[in-house]
Amino acid sequence: MISIKGLSKVFRTKDQDVHAVSDLEATIDSGEIFGVIGYSGAGKSTFIRLLNRLEDPSGGTINIDDREISSLSKGDLRLARQDMGMIFQHFNLLWSRTVEDNIAFPLEIAGVSKEERKERVDELVELVGLGGRGTSYPSQLSGGQKQRVGIARALANRPKVLLCDEATSALDPETTDSILDLLVDINAKLGLTIVLITHEMHVIRKICHRVAVMEDGKIVEEGDVLDVFLRPKQKVTKRFVDQVMGDPDRESSLSLIKEEYPLGEVAQFHFVGERTHQALISEVSRKFQVDVNVLHGKITQTQKGAYGTLIVHLEGEKEEIERALTYVRETSVEVEVALDV
């Protein structure tokens, strides 16, 4: 669906050249929700603006449905942008227009007839959950409702791709979840490809199928969300995963346990999918002569399934502990032993 090769963007200032995006490569499949995460200055917002040519690339190519966006003329680009909707962090609504008129605006620009506009606007108002608010003005809406208007407006021309630039970062957590649920619903109903920029791993965890991690203008890690949660390779990725799975009291708690139980082994189990719901600890206690003390545990849900971690202290004969850990590994649960405490 979207193929990006060698993409770069250099901002030239009086004093220096700033490489916002450097030799970026990515493939985004049709119908998936693809997340791009990075800290401020990583280049992620520049990247998404390059996709619809709000910024012109300094080099490289962007192909969407076999059309090279990076080389289109202004006239052809205007037509191509009708296939790409965009949602902004601060809504970018027209404050003098009603909800219905805001949604209708891109249809007016596209030359759609008044009758067709009304039919499409009514359909979108219902789709985004704003029934009864069509004649309201943006100043009369909550932040979440404003973003719903922004989403409806972005969908007006029936785009194939929806670009979201920090679409939830100005919203409170509860409203954020409702907007994310809406995006998942839209993705399922319309088969829309969604490219989502964020600095919050919670957003990635909740709705994305795959994720790319950006740092210094480059993608430093990419993969299925569940795989990235399970096996983060880069330091920056581990910091993001800790936003969701981290425990600030982990180290001190483990140290106290080691002092109280100096014998045995401290291990971390990684559960995926169905294993997160099975009574593995009870099985180990019944099958082997070991005492199992649960220190920490957490389960989180991603679009590709559940992922959980459990840190335990096993006490018993060394040989029996090894047998128990071997059994755990054979159940497809990953085991990490000799944790630093």
- 152 contacts 127 by C-beta, under 8 angstroms: yes
- pTM passes above 0.95: no
Count of CB atoms situated within 10 Å of the CB of 97: 15
User: What are the distances in angstroms from CA 262 to CA 23, 204, 269, 311?
Assistant: 51, 39, 20, 16
**CATH of region 2-244:** 3.40.50.300
Q: What is the pLDDT along the chain (341 residues), one digit of tens a residue?
A: 899 999 999 998 888 888 999 999 999 999 999 999 999 999 999 999 999 899 999 999 999 988 898 888 888 888 888 889 999 888 899 999 999 999 999 999 989 999 999 999 999 999 999 999 999 999 999 999 999 999 999 999 999 999 999 989 888 989 999 999 999 999 999 999 999 999 998 899 899 999 999 999 999 999 999 888 878 899 999 888 887 766 555 566 656 666 665 656 888 887 776 555 567 888 898 999 998 888 777 777 777 777 777 888 888 898 999 999 999 888 878 787 755 44
Encode burial over 115-140: b for 16+ CB neighbours within 10 A, e otherwise.
eebeebbeebbebbbbeebbeebbee
Q: Which residues 6+ apart lie within 8 Å of 95 measured at CB? A: 137, 138, 139
Across-strand partners of 126? Answer: none
Q: Does domain 250-337 have CATH number 3.30.70.260?
A: yes
Q: Which of 42, 40, 27 is nearest to 220 (CA)?
A: 42
User: What are the distances in angstroms from CA 86 to CA 3, 47, 333?
Assistant: 18, 13, 41
- 212 contacts 38 by C-beta, under 8 angstroms: no
Residue 79, helix vs strand vs coil: helix
Dihedral sign for Cα 160, 165, 171, 173, please: positive
Domain spans of the chain, in order of start: 2-244, 250-337
